[in-house]
Structure 1
């Protein structure tokens, strides 16, 4: 028995801020945001939380697959943010929103790489026979960590973090197979604490002084050397992960690469160096902002829904400062065979595949 992705569903808030509005909100010079490649960003409403958005995306995914809620027996939440602090479990929040008390659930936390890890875990559970239908939910809302909130942005990339959700249904009934997985951990693991809130955990509990200083918000503690080391590490990760999943899947290339770097320039060059056509990509960040691990599901879902010639060899790849992974998805026919449905995305923006020259022009700060 082999497992794959049967369907993908998404839900993205319809409200948007354009580049000029984002620059004003963050106190950046006019043009700084557009210069980093961001045209617009989804904006969450007051009732749009990781659990509520994930539930909406999951309903779309189940509907696309022709499945009922009772068919779902496990839900894995792989988003970065949560409605409530730990030890609250987002998976049960999503199941509560869905009205599915008979379904099992758990969270996996690995920043943006968690979506791929969760897919591989779901594959193993389905193929072992312990579960039949697994939903992998990725939903995030970053504005409480990285929103303007009277704090200046350190770089234009800080303004890209957005809101939305996407869910993949993993099943043995899929018309594709997850055929390869690879990961690569940064040898300099000290970088794991370079970003994130300063207080709110056991090492520095949140107190009034820390709250007033904003230590509960997202912080960046990286030097120029750290950034250079991370850039080198990401290239090493690509050189390790892409060839590994090609070998496992028995292919010599990919027709679509779902990846979501904030700065696509180095990623495009890495793909080219590995013999992968840089035009075999579809970036959602410029129009929607960075929604976390949901980006990869959105890229694949939008590519299918917009009528792009996706092909049957798909790579999903995510890189973080400490960890990177990749997954190969091979369709049984001429395409991935994934059913899709969603709300809040204008598919017309991605109907034409851009040339490598256009990609480089649009996404070079």
Structure 2
């Protein structure tokens, strides 16, 4: 019996509106007597700009734009999709799922569609799920999307968090193949660390209960992220019987340039092999990994046959990795 694999055959991304530079953001915050600067933000994060959705732009809309770009690259019609998974922490509404709303927007009908919520690890979780369903014969062509309007969770009076995040979407088309594609996935979570990165607000009887904005213990998140990203990279490499020197490209979650640098150092991977886009769009949570992937595919760095290791880490506390041959 022929081994069934899943391969990434198309990528896409979408960023809303014009970029907001650090200087522009600092000017906005100054109106509320919040002091920050381009130098302060760049030194601590590596971020130069971010994109912010309008109030009427939804997660499903951003995701649909990215999905169409991925479908076009793949040469696949929306009607051929038989599985849609959207990774997001900022859904359009409580229900139905953002995946169902995106399905309608792109003209796909009848296929399975659901959301995955693992915050900044969401895309890695969603890709692993789609890979498993394809390998099990439950789907042939899957659309996997990471999309966020994270700006709506931010306290714009807290400069330690509001300068970090942005909005956007990334997508891939995954298809069954006789050739190796996704080689290994590893996923983890520690709910006992949920308090270091969370947005606890909920709606009950029409009233917001709890804190409506994102909270982050920056030092604790940094420490955990660097540790677990190094560990899960080695786990996924072991799962594929590979070593770090066989990686052509490393795509960590685009949260902070210091985390990217520390992860590469732990693995012994040169920064020349690390796809870095955090400077262009900030931390876009579940959208950051697929957007970085799309950038590197479209600019020609990632070529057919290259081995790529992608990593996510975020609230939950969650983390994971995917290793694939492009």
**TM-score higher than 0.5 here?**
yes
- CA 1:39/1:72 → structure 2, altered by over 3 Å: closer, same or farther? same
Q: 2:243 aligns with which of 252, 275, 300?
A: 252
2:24 and 2:170 mapped to 1: Cα distance? Answer: 26
1:229 and 1:35 mapped to 2: Cα distance? Answer: 19
Q: Structure 2: state its 5+ residue gaps.
A: none
Aligned length: 313
Q: Give the ranges of 4+ consecutive aligned residues of structure 1 lying more than 6 Å apart after TM superposition.
A: none
Q: After superposition, where does 1:135-284 map in structure 2 within 5 Å? A: 135-146=143-154, 148=156, 152-155=157-160, 157-173=161-177, 177-186=181-190, 189-200=191-202, 207=207, 217-220=212-215, 222=217, 228-253=219-244, 254-284=247-277
Measured after TM superposition, the shift of residue 115 of structure 1 is 0.7
TM-score (norm 2): 0.87
- CA 1:282/1:117 → structure 2, altered by over 3 Å: closer, same or farther? same
- CA 1:23/1:175 → structure 2, altered by over 3 Å: closer, same or farther? farther
- CA 1:206/1:280 → structure 2, altered by over 3 Å: closer, same or farther? farther
- CA 1:130/1:250 → structure 2, altered by over 3 Å: closer, same or farther? same
Q: Structure 1: state its 5+ residue gaps.
A: 331-335, 337-365
- CA 1:97/1:277 → structure 2, altered by over 3 Å: closer, same or farther? same
Measured after TM superposition, the shift of residue 233 of structure 1 is 2.9
Measured after TM superposition, the shift of residue 158 of structure 1 is 2.7
| Deviations, residues 69-96 of structure 1 (Å, cap 9, x unaligned) | 1101111111221112x24311111112
Q: Which has the higher strand share?
A: 2
Matched residue of 1:136: which SS? strand
Matched residue of 1:260: which SS? coil
CA contact (8 A) 1:184 1:240 kept: no
- CA 1:269/1:100 → structure 2, altered by over 3 Å: closer, same or farther? closer
- CA 1:8/1:275 → structure 2, altered by over 3 Å: closer, same or farther? same
Q: 2:284 aligns with which of 287, 291, 313?
A: 291
User: Which residue matches 1:324?
Assistant: 319
1:102 and 1:184 mapped to 2: Cα distance? Answer: 31
Please tell me the root mean square deviation across aligned C-alpha atoms, in Å: 2.4
